[in-house]
C-alpha cells in the first residue's frame, strides 16, 4: 500500500469496500500480533496543565473545571486494583507540568507501583513534553513505555491548533529522545480536526513508519464547547470522524503490521461499541479507565467522555464480556509489548 492508495481508501465511503478493508486489516492483525487484546489500566491522575492546546477541555485557560491532583496513596491504590484485576500494565496520564516537584512526584509514584507489584506491572507514561533528564529519570525509576501524540504530522496544521509557544519541532524531538533512552514509544494523532485534509491523515501514517514508532494511540477529534477549536466547529462531525477513526486504524495496521494499536476511549465516546469495532478493524490494545470515579468528571479532554460513573471492576467485567462476544481473548497478567519493538532491537 502506498500514499495514493491510503488516500483512495480514506476517500472511499462504499460500505462494502470498507468491510473488505477492515477484513484485510484483521487478517494482518492476526498474522502479526494475534487474537489477544491487552489491557492498560489508565489512571488520569491530575488535570493541572501548563499548556493551552486549543482543542482540549483541560487547557490552562478553561476555568470551568476544578483542578485536582490525586495523592500518591490514591494512585498506588488504583495501581494495586489493576494488579489485582490482572491487568498486565497501567498508564499514568495527566496534564503537562515540568516543575521539579511534579517530576519527583512521578518518579516516586513509578517506584511505588513497581514495589507494590513485585516489579511486574508494566508502566506507560503519558505526561507530555519533558526534558531529556526527566524522561531518563522516569525510565530509571521503572517506566518503560511513553505515549506522546504528535497530534498531526503537518507542522502548519499543528501551528493552528496550538498557541505560539507550543512548538512542533520540540514535540518531534521528544519522540527521538524517548527512543534514544530506550522507551517503547507511542504516538498518534487526532482524526477529523478542523482544517485537516485526508492527505494529512495519509501522511500521519507514513510519519508513524518513518519515526519507527512501536505503539499507536489515535482517535477521533471530539468537540469540547469550552475550547476555541470546539467553538469554531459547525454542525455534527461525530459520525464522519468515527468512520475516519476506524479507517485510520485499519490502514495503519495494514501499513505498519506489527505495532500495538489502541482502540481508544474517544471511539467509545462516539459509539458505545466503538472500541470493539476498533478491535475488529485492527487494534489490539484497550485502556480501561481505572481513575477513581470522584475525579473523572474533572478530566474531560472532550465532551461525552464515557463511563464517568463506572468503577474499575464494573469496567473490567463489562469489557471482558464485550471482548468475548467478538471472539477475542484478553492477555491477563501480560505486558503485551509491541512485537515491532523487539524486532527492532534485534536488528540494531
Ligand atoms: N497532557 C498530555 C497527556 C494528556 S492529553 C499530552 O498532551 O500529551 C492526551 C491526549 O488527549 C492528547 O494527546 C490529545 O490527542 C487528546 N485530546 C485532547 N483533546 C481532545 C479532543 N477534544 N478530542 C480528542 N482527543 C483529544
Ligand atoms: Fe494539556 Fe495535554 Fe490537554 Fe494540551 S492536550 S491542554 S498538554 S492535557
130-168 residues labelled b (16+ CB within 10 A) or e (exposed): beeebbbbbbebbbbbbbbbbbbbbeebbeebbeeebeb
172 lines ligand 1 (CB under 6 A): no
Number of neighbouring beta carbons within 10 Å of residue 118: 8
Nearest to 183 by CA among 218, 149, 135, 216: 135
Which pLDDT tens digit goes with each residue over 224-283? 999 999 999 999 999 999 999 999 999 999 999 999 999 999 999 999 899 999 999 999
Domain assignments of the chain as residue spans, ordered by start: 3-347
Nearest to 284 by CA among 94, 111, 42, 35: 35
The arithmetic mean of pLDDT across residues 309-338, rounded, is 81
DSSP class of 306: S
Which pLDDT tens digit goes with each residue over 86-124? 999 999 999 999 999 999 999 999 999 999 999 999 999
Residue to mutate, 44, 49, 148, 165, ligand 2, most ligand atoms under 8 Å from C-beta:
49
Cell matching residue 167: 512548538
pLDDT for 348 equals 40
166 lines ligand 2 (CB under 6 A): no
pLDDT for 347 equals 45
pLDDT band, very low/low/confident/very high, at 79 (cuts 50, 70, 90): very high
Of the listed ranges 58-72, 235-249, 305-319, the least confidently predicted one is 305-319
- Distance from the alpha carbon of residue 347 to the mean position of ligand 1, in angstroms: 33
The arithmetic mean of pLDDT across residues 17-34, rounded, is 97
The burial class, CB within 10 Å (0-12 / 13-18 / 19+), for 69 is: middle
Distance (Å, whole) CA 21 – CA 158 = 29
- Which of the ligands is closest to the CA of residue 221? 1
pLDDT for 51 equals 98
Residue to mutate, 56, 153, 267, ligand 1, most ligand atoms under 8 Å from C-beta:
56
280 lines ligand 1 (CB under 6 A): no
Whether 183 shows a pLDDT value over 90: the answer reads: yes
DSSP reduced 3-state for 346: helix
Give the CB-side neighbour count of residue 171, counting CA atoms within 13 A: 24
Which pLDDT tens digit goes with each residue over 116-133? 999 999 999 999 999 999
Please name the residue whose Cα sits nearest to atom 2 of ligand 2. Answer: 95
198-233 residues labelled b (16+ CB within 10 A) or e (exposed): eebbbbbbebbeebebbbbbbbbbbbbebbbbbeeb
In whole angstroms, how far apart are CA 298 and each of 102, 106, 203, 294, 301?
19, 20, 34, 9, 9
In whole angstroms, how far apart are CA 252 and each of 14, 112, 145, 191, 348?
19, 35, 20, 13, 24
49 lines ligand 2 (CB under 6 A): yes
Whether 158 shows a pLDDT value over 70: the answer reads: yes
pLDDT for 150 equals 98
Please name the residue whose Cα sits nearest to atom 6 of ligand 2. Answer: 59
pLDDT for 267 equals 95
In whole angstroms, how far apart are CA 339 and each of 31, 36, 185, 215?
12, 13, 12, 10
Distance (Å, whole) CA 280 – CA 249 = 10
In whole angstroms, how far apart are CA 197 and each of 125, 190, 203, 267, 276?
30, 12, 10, 20, 27
What topology does CATH give the domain 3-347? Answer: TIM Barrel (3.20.20)
- Distance from the alpha carbon of residue 57 to the mean position of ligand 1, in angstroms: 9
pLDDT for 69 equals 97
- Distance from the alpha carbon of residue 168 to the mean position of ligand 2, in angstroms: 14
pLDDT for 95 equals 98
pLDDT for 271 equals 93
151 lines ligand 2 (CB under 6 A): no
Mean pLDDT computed over every residue of the chain: 94
- Distance from the alpha carbon of residue 215 to the mean position of ligand 2, in angstroms: 20
Whether 334 shows a pLDDT value over 70: the answer reads: yes
pLDDT for 344 equals 64
pTM: 0.95
Q: Which has more pLDDT, 340 or 31?
A: 31
Please name the residue whose Cα sits nearest to atom 24 of ligand 1. Answer: 221
Amino acid at each position: 500500500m502506498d500514499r495514493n492508495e491510503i488516500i483512495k481508501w480514506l476517500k472511499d465511503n462504499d460500505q462494502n469496500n470498507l468491510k473488505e478493508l477492515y477484513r484485510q486489516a484483521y487478517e494482518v492483525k492476526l498474522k502479526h500480533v494475534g487474537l489477544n487484546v491487552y489491557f492498560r489500566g489508565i489512571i488520569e491522575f491530575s488535570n493541572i496543565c501548563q499548556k493551552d492546546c486549543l482543542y482540549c477541555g483541560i487547557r490552562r485557560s478553561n476555568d470551568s473545571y476544578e483542578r485536582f491532583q490525586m495523592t500518591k496513596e490514591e494512585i498506588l491504590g488504583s495501581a494495586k486494583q489493576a494488579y489485582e484485576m490482572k491487568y498486565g500494565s497501567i498508564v499514568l496520564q495527566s496534564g503537562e507540568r515540568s516543575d521539579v516537584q511534579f517530576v519527583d512526584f512521578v518518579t516516586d509514584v513509578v517506584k511505588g507501583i513497581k514495589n507494590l507489584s513485585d516489579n511486574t506491572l508494566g508502566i506507560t507514561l503519558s505526561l507530555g513534553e519533558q526534558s531529556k533528564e526527566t524522561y531518563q529519570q522516569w525510565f530509571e525509576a521503572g517506566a518503560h513505555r511513553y505515549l506522546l501524540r504528535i497530534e498531526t504530522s503537518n507542522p502548519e496544521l499543528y501551528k493552528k491548533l496550538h498557541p505560539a509557544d507550543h512548538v512542533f519541532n520540540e514535540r518531534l524531538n521528544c519522540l527521538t529522545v524517548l527512543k534514544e533512552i530506550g522507551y517503547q514509544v507511542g504516538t498518534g494523532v487526532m482524526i477529523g480536526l478542523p482544517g485537516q485534509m485526508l492527505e494529512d491523515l495519509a501522511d500521519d501514517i507514513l510519519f508513524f513508519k518513518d519515526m519507527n514508532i512501536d505503539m499507536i494511540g489515535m482517535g477521533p477529534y471530539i468537540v469540547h464547547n469550552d475550547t476555541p477549536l470546539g467553538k469554531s466547529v459547525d454542525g455534527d462531525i461525530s459520525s464522519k470522524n468515527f468512520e475516519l477513526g476506524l479507517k485510520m486504524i485499519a490502514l495503519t495496521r495494514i501499513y505498519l503490521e506489527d505495532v500495538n494499536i489502541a482502540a481508544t476511549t474517544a471511539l467509545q465516546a462516539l459509539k458505545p461499541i466503538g472500541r470493539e469495532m476498533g478491535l475488529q478493524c485492527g487494534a489490539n490494545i484497550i485502556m480501561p479507565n481505572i481513575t477513581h470515579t470522584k475525579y473523572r468528571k474533572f478530566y474531560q479532554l472532550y465532551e461525552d467522555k464515557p463511563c464517568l460513573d463506572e468503577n474499575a471492576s464494573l469496567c473490567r467485567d463489562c469489557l471482558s464480556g464485550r471482548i468475548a462476544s467478538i471472539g477475542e481473548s484478553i492477555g491477563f497478567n501480560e505486558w503485551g509489548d509491541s512485537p515491532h519493538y523487539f524486532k527492532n532491537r534485534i536488528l540494531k
